Amino acid sequence: MTIDAGSVARFAALMADRTRAAICLALLDGRAWTAGELARHTGVGAPTASEHLSRMVEGGLLAEVRQGRHRYVRLRDRQTAQLVEDLGLLAGAEEAPRRSLAGVRASRALAAARTCYDHLAGRLGTGMFAALCDRGLLGDADGTALTPQGRAWFAGLGCVLPEPDAGRRPLVRACLDWTDRRPHLAGAAGAELRRLCAEREWIAPGARPREIRVTDRGRHAFADLLGLDTAAPAEPEAPRTIRARRDTNAAASRG
Amino acid sequence: MTIDAGSVARFAALMADRTRAAICLALLDGRAWTAGELARHTGVGAPTASEHLSRMVEGGLLAEVRQGRHRYVRLRDRQTAQLVEDLGLLAGAEEAPRRSLAGVRASRALAAARTCYDHLAGRLGTGMFAALCDRGLLGDADGTALTPQGRAWFAGLGCVLPEPDAGRRPLVRACLDWTDRRPHLAGAAGAELRRLCAEREWIAPGARPREIRVTDRGRHAFADLLGLDTAAPAEPEAPRTIRARRDTNAAASRG
DNA sequence: GCGACGGTTCGGCGGCCGCCGAAGTGTGTC
DNA sequence: GACACACTTCGGCGGCCGCCGAACCGTCGC
């Protein structure tokens, strides 16, 4: 047996609980969260969250950094984040589109622009991907390769892209978008592009985790560079609320 | 919430059991298995297997075809197979290399050549990938693109590759090999290449599931086409045995 | 029609799991 | 040194889960 069924089961079990899955999804924003934040976010007590985190770290799903009286955790690495994302995509693929009204409001902003681990997603991300393709900067039809023009475009922005090297992270990768069902730019170039956008303040963090906002400066830059229209909905943000979810947990844990 | 933690947990739970994980891994060979075969393969009773399969089909992990008094199941689609494979890779990444002696014998053949869902893996797969790169048939350093020469090479073999089309399956994809830790060729081209190898009888099924054997004809073809040395270990195959595994199950299900 | 056979359903058993409250540990602050 | 705070450990509770044996249901072969 090349690979042990037991270890696969053990690893999958780390995500096979509603609370732990919620933790994984929260961590998809690429940041490190404290144990307390995650407890509040998932609506669970501190002891429970603590046990979950220990288990996930032990199992190799999360990495932790202890700092003073805080315990920070993040997804172990890019591969792990990718797995969580793929899992979310597949798990959501067949789901009926039942969503609360509050959810619609929240997801509208997320659908517009958000981060996906370390790159840009939402309509902003898919729009950029399409624009890059249109201009011949991404080649090979699927957009899984960077053309010489593409490389020049990045260089013109002052982006130093890592030399592509077999076995390392792909330079460009097409990542199917949850909300838009079209690809957005992932891979090393996607991460670099996001870093650049943040550095030049073309984007800024939104009200909720993972949500991002295109700044005025960014709107001009995206229009100039890619002919991209990033008109904002410009609605005031509702305060984030913690909702109880104990009642829904038992129901959800069953197939 | 863009994606529901409950559905992620529910989906992950489908693989979070040793028996179900073993079923997934078995199905990675791309074939459809009957319920009985899987019950025997996983060392579990028929009722148990039946319940597992129903749950996995219901949850969208497997697809089933009922034929007479048989129930055939397979992984739902390529994305699902990919997920299982990635999960296996990550789950195995940190594991201590504890393996039984029988396991070593078995995995030696698998490490030499096997199928990975619908393409070739093992040293045969990684060797071909490296050879294709060396000859400039795969471009873009990571080998995520086919060069014009590469396309010509496939054409010369009589392989009709699908036109690459955004949103469809990538033409070529580098898939990290479990045993060799180097990439092998996946994607549509990988699948086509495997089909061709089987059609010309360059490869033949091995003694165990997923295992493949390079034929004499294949050995010559691979040497001529790619300068690839595929010397076989040529050891007689041990008969496959069903081992009891009930005792190890409880231990494995705990973190 | 009958028996063999693959698969399913049902009832029940043992075991683990996820949760919490209470108490404990270590860190930073006044 | 005392207190607040973030987190952990412990004990216990309710609940689901995975398994099996027994009985049952279709299908196939004779």
**Domains of chain B listed by start with CATH number:** 7-82 (1.10.10.10), 99-226 (no CATH)
Identify the pLDDT of residue A179.
Answer: 59
Q: How many CB pairs under 8 A join A and B?
A: 224
Identify the pLDDT of residue B166.
Answer: 42
Identify the pLDDT of residue A108.
Answer: 63
φ, ψ of residue B253 to 5 degrees: the values are -75, -10
Q: Which residue has the higher pLDDT, A245 or B186?
A: B186
Q: Is A51 an 8 Å CB contact of chain B?
A: no
State, as a whole number of angstroms, the distance between the CA of B35 and the C1' of C3. Answer: 22
Q: Which residue has the higher pLDDT, B91 or A21?
A: A21
Identify the pLDDT of residue B154.
Answer: 87
State, as a whole number of angstroms, the distance between the CA of A57 and the C1' of D11. Answer: 24
Going through A91-177 in order, the beta strands assigned E by DSSP cover 114-116, 119-121, 138-139, 145-146, 173-176
Identify the pLDDT of residue A47.
Answer: 92
* Res. B242: pLDDT tops 70: no
Identify the pLDDT of residue A129.
Answer: 82
Closest CA to A88 of B75, B86, B3: B3
Contact A89, A121 (CB under 8 A): no
* Res. A183: pLDDT tops 90: no
pLDDT interval class at B232 (50, 70, 90)? low
Give the mean pLDDT of chain A.
Answer: 74
Identify the pLDDT of residue A48.
Answer: 93
Report protein residues in contact with nucleic acid strand C, where contact means CB under 7 Å.
Answer: A 13, 16-20, 44-45, 47-48, 51-52, 55, 67-69, 246, 249; B 34-37, 39, 46-47, 49-51, 53-54, 69-71, 250, 253-255
Lowest mean pLDDT among A38-42, A125-129, A159-163: A159-163
* Res. A35: pLDDT tops 80: yes
A114 contact residues in B (CB cutoff 8 A): 2
Q: Which residue has the higher pLDDT, A116 or B194?
A: B194
Q: Which residue has the higher pLDDT, A22 or B130?
A: A22
| B21-25 contacts, C-beta under 8 A, 24 or more apart | B21/A5, B21/A6, B21/A8, B21/A9, B21/A12, B22/A5, B23/B49, B23/B52, B23/B53, B23/B56, B24/A8, B24/B61, B24/B75, B24/B84, B25/A1, B25/A3, B25/A5, B25/A8, B25/B84, B25/B88
Q: Which residue has the higher pLDDT, A143 or B238?
A: A143
Identify the pLDDT of residue B69.
Answer: 81
Q: Which residue has the higher pLDDT, A237 or A204?
A: A204
pLDDT interval class at B21 (50, 70, 90)? very high
Proportion of chain A above pLDDT 90, given as a percent: 12
pLDDT tens readout for residues A89-113: 888 754 433 344 444 455 566 667 7
Lowest mean pLDDT among A62-66, A93-97, A239-243, B105-109: A239-243
Quick one: closest CA in B to A96, which residue? B7
pLDDT interval class at B240 (50, 70, 90)? very low
Identify the pLDDT of residue B135.
Answer: 80
Lowest mean pLDDT among A242-246, B88-92, B147-151, B188-192: A242-246
